[in-house]
Structure 1
Amino acid sequence: MNRRNFLSLTGTFTAGSLILPDFLHAFGTQNNLLIGDQCVVFVQLNGGNDGLNTYIPFQDELYYKSRPTIALSKEEVIAGNNGMAFHPSLKDFATMQQNGDLSVIQNVGYANPVRSHFRSQEIWQTAPTNQEYLNQGWLGRYLDFQCNDHEPTAGINIDSIDNLALKGEEPNSITVKDPDRFTTKQTTDNSEQLSGNPQLDFVRKIANSVVEGSDAIQDALKKSTASEVNYTKNGLSKNLEWIARLIKGNLHSKVYYTSMGGFDTHDNQLAIHQNRLKELNDAVFSFYNDLKKAQLLSNVTIVVFSEFGRRVADNGRGTDHGTAAPMFIIGGNNQGKVIGNNPNLSDLDKGDLIHQIDFRSVYASLLEQKLNFSANKIGIKNSPLKGLF
């Protein structure tokens, strides 16, 4: 049994308990990853969020001409500045921007865009140079360089399924749906000596790392201070509250990842999008306030993105798959700017926005300016985006 196959069986626990014999605790110790004091939290919006109805070019008449059934009126949008404004459900995103803690990166995408959810997500998660297929994620490759051997809690994915972005050669991340239930149970086994069988010893080593990861998570939850913020009751809020607890409990993970679905708005977009954006707004703002009260906002960078935007013209009920869209960067001492030009609705590629900023430039900035790591080492050749931090 090789390492990859073993991890496919044991590396992900979305609920319940892992039952392992006592002998697995006898081998080695696991130190938390300690590189500086920065971490990055990713919030992935699955389904293709409509960027034009999220950060809105409300002074461009082509916006209203292209979207007669779903455009937000000039009276509805909020915090207008330089022709752009937020969806009314994102009132707290506007507050974070006014506080100087939120940067908007406009027209983010990549050349030769793909409109398939699965493939475009894969491209964002692996960051290939020329859309080649890669088996490892960009964050997994980063963690392979940064970790000694393997460190199971260097990356934490709060979800019910693994995320390709965190997949590397070594098991440096754990996917867990409910950290409160991610515990280990031990069974009696006195086989505490190395067996002399390399394959068995390898299995013991990997399984021990999973146990250590569970122990580290539980220890961080116990050490974490109680939140002074009342998180709203939705799935993303719960996930971000868990991440906040782990950060405050000194888990020292460098990367946290979670996701939110429901953004594939082909039909009934106005109501669906309003609800999804409100959930996003409330969850992220609660997390933001939690970190601020704990005096940790400067140490944590929050990245909100989707695999693509929507087409410029509506379809009469909603919008179909498009290309470029805004990204939002919160905390981490970002400069609180709007980076990039407003969407150019008069110069389209077959009805779609033309991207101006490559998402890999954003990744390069995060790696080099927040994680003190050269993006070139993992095959990202794009220059870091200027003006973000």
Structure 2
Amino acid sequence: MNRRNFLSLTGTFTGGSLLLPNFLHAFGTQPNLVIGEQCLVFIQLNGGNDGLNTFIPYDNPLYYDLRPKIALAKDTIVGKTNGMGFHPALKDFAAMQQNGDLSVVQNVGYPQPVRSHFRSQEIWQTATDSNQYGTNGWLGKYLDLQCNDHEPTAGINLDSIDNLALKGEEPNSITVKDPSRFKISKNKEQGITLSENPQLDFVRKVANSVKEGSTEIQKALAKSTAEVSYPKTNLGKNLQWIAQLVKGNLNSKVYYTSQNGYDTHDNQVNLHNRNLTELNDALAGFYKDLKQAKLLQNVTIVVFSEFGRRVKDNGSGTDHGTAAPMFIIGGSTKGKVLGNNPNLTNLDNGDLKHEIDFRSVYASVLKEKMAFDAGKIGIKNEGLRGLF
């Protein structure tokens, strides 16, 4: 059995208690990872979010010519600036941007784009070129270099499945669906020593992470309360958990969660409105919670999708495309719109040409917020200027 299978077997939680063999329970304690006060929160929009109907070039007549069935009316668009504006469902995004707490990075993508959901997500999660395949995630590599041996809660993935972005050589992250139910029974058995089997040793190390992660998460939850109302959606609940863990001083450096439903080939107007409303409302609660706790400057939120959609609609929706905007919230971002407005005349076979490589955003976030050189994990791109 390989390491990924071990990690998937022992480090992924869907709520409730996890039953482990006795020999996997008896490990010593480890302190929390503490490196400054900053942390990163990633929200992955699964399915390929339509960037042109999220941050909209309403002042460009071609937008309406190319999208006769799904274009948003000018008078419904909010937060207008320099010919661009937000989908009407993103009223709180517009308010955050107006407050100087949200930056938009336009036309983000990568060379030789791939339109497969799985493969494109893998590229974003490993930060490799489109013709390369990585076994570990970019955040997993970062945590490997930042952690002493392994730290159980350096990364927290709020989901029911593991995320490749957080996979490293060491089990420095935990996947958990419901932190309140993530409790591992204590076992007093002691004296377990490492074997000559590296795979067995690895699963024991994972089990140690399981035990310690459970303890530290419960301590953080006990020190924090939910003081802001969140929507009762999956994303709302996940961001509420993250806020409680941050306020409870868990000291994780990376939090990761996702929202599904962005593969809008059909019925896009209704589906996209529903998804963006859920995204807006969940992030509005999270933003208010962190602001109220005076923690927004310490938390950098990165919202992205694996690709955008094609420029021309298909009659009721849009098909897989390439470049799209990213959104950076909090973390003392400068609140700017970076990059040119989408060029709807100079297309690549009907798709937007990317102008900003997503890895330059990663490099900027790591350098400016975590004091880390992205080159150490193989990201060669220069950091994007003007973000922080």
Q: Fold match, TM over 0.5?
A: yes
CA contact (8 A) 1:159 1:259 kept: yes
Please give the alpha-carbon distance, in whole angstroms, between the structure 1 residues aligned to 2:194 and 2:124. 43
Please give the alpha-carbon distance, in whole angstroms, between the structure 2 residues aligned to 1:319 and 1:196. 54
Secondary structure of residue in 1 paired with 2:327: strand
CA contact (8 A) 1:195 1:201 kept: no
Q: 1:48 to 1:3 in 2, by over 3 A?
A: closer
CA contact (8 A) 2:17 2:184 kept: yes
Secondary structure of residue in 2 paired with 1:250: coil
Q: 1:21 to 1:248 in 2, by over 3 A?
A: same
Q: 1:198 to 1:27 in 2, by over 3 A?
A: farther
CA contact (8 A) 1:19 1:186 kept: no
Secondary structure of residue in 1 paired with 2:252: coil
Q: 1:350 to 1:152 in 2, by over 3 A?
A: same
CA contact (8 A) 1:123 1:131 kept: no
Q: Determine whether 1:103 maps to 2:103.
A: yes
Q: Determine whether 1:44 maps to 2:51.
A: no
Partner of 1:359: 358
Deviations 1:344-367 (A, max 9, x none): 001000000000000000000011
Matches within 5 A, 1:207-246: 207-224=207-224, 226-246=225-245
RMSD: 1.6
Partner of 1:292: 291
CA positional deviation for 1:26: 4.6
Please give the alpha-carbon distance, in whole angstroms, between the structure 2 residues aligned to 1:10 and 1:79. 46
CA positional deviation for 1:73: 1.1
Q: 1:357 to 1:23 in 2, by over 3 A?
A: same
Matches within 5 A, 1:84-103: 84-103=84-103
Please give the alpha-carbon distance, in whole angstroms, between the structure 1 residues aligned to 2:70 and 2:88. 14
Q: TM-score, normalised by structure 1?
A: 0.96
Matches within 5 A, 1:129-140: 129=129, 131-140=131-140
Please give the alpha-carbon distance, in whole angstroms, between the structure 2 residues aligned to 1:275 and 1:202. 42
The amino acid of 1:345's aligned partner reads L
Please give the alpha-carbon distance, in whole angstroms, between the structure 2 residues aligned to 1:316 and 1:67. 8
Instruction: Give the percent of matched residue pairs that are identical in Structure 1 and Structure 2.
Output: 71
CA contact (8 A) 1:20 1:185 kept: no
Please give the alpha-carbon distance, in whole angstroms, between the structure 2 residues aligned to 1:205 and 1:320. 44
**Any unmatched runs of 5+ in structure 2?**
none
Q: 1:108 to 1:202 in 2, by over 3 A?
A: closer
Partner of 1:341: 340
CA contact (8 A) 2:172 2:209 kept: no
CA positional deviation for 1:31: 1.4
CA positional deviation for 1:228: 2.4
Partner of 2:16: 16
Partner of 2:191: 193
CA positional deviation for 1:78: 1.1
Deviations 1:349-388 (A, max 9, x none): 0000000000000000011111111000000000000000
Partner of 1:280: 279
Please give the alpha-carbon distance, in whole angstroms, between the structure 2 residues aligned to 1:276 and 1:297. 24
CA contact (8 A) 2:310 2:318 kept: yes
CA contact (8 A) 1:248 1:294 kept: yes
Please give the alpha-carbon distance, in whole angstroms, between the structure 2 residues aligned to 1:265 and 1:129. 26
The amino acid of 2:359's aligned partner reads R
CA positional deviation for 1:25: 5.5
CA contact (8 A) 1:129 1:380 kept: no
Matches within 5 A, 1:116-155: 116-129=116-129, 131-155=131-155
CA contact (8 A) 2:363 2:379 kept: yes
CA positional deviation for 1:37: 0.7
Please give the alpha-carbon distance, in whole angstroms, between the structure 1 residues aligned to 2:13 and 2:107. 36
CA contact (8 A) 2:45 2:260 kept: yes
Q: 1:112 to 1:201 in 2, by over 3 A?
A: closer
Q: 1:27 to 1:309 in 2, by over 3 A?
A: same
Partner of 2:264: 265
CA positional deviation for 1:231: 0.5
Q: 1:115 to 1:196 in 2, by over 3 A?
A: closer
Secondary structure of residue in 2 paired with 1:185: coil
Secondary structure of residue in 2 paired with 1:79: strand
CA positional deviation for 1:204: 4.0
CA contact (8 A) 2:25 2:186 kept: no
CA contact (8 A) 1:220 1:249 kept: yes
Please give the alpha-carbon distance, in whole angstroms, between the structure 1 residues aligned to 2:176 and 2:207. 16
Q: 1:195 to 1:18 in 2, by over 3 A?
A: same
CA contact (8 A) 1:45 1:259 kept: yes
Q: 1:60 to 1:202 in 2, by over 3 A?
A: closer
CA contact (8 A) 2:123 2:129 kept: no
Please give the alpha-carbon distance, in whole angstroms, between the structure 2 residues aligned to 1:163 and 1:207. 18
CA contact (8 A) 1:22 1:186 kept: no
CA contact (8 A) 1:229 1:289 kept: yes
Q: 1:59 to 1:201 in 2, by over 3 A?
A: closer
Q: 1:58 to 1:39 in 2, by over 3 A?
A: same
Q: Determine whether 1:304 maps to 2:303.
A: yes
State the number of aligned residues.
Answer: 386
Q: 1:312 to 1:367 in 2, by over 3 A?
A: same
Q: 1:169 to 1:71 in 2, by over 3 A?
A: same
Secondary structure of residue in 1 paired with 2:40: strand
CA contact (8 A) 2:78 2:94 kept: yes
Please give the alpha-carbon distance, in whole angstroms, between the structure 2 residues aligned to 1:175 and 1:340. 34
Please give the alpha-carbon distance, in whole angstroms, between the structure 1 residues aligned to 2:201 and 2:83. 62
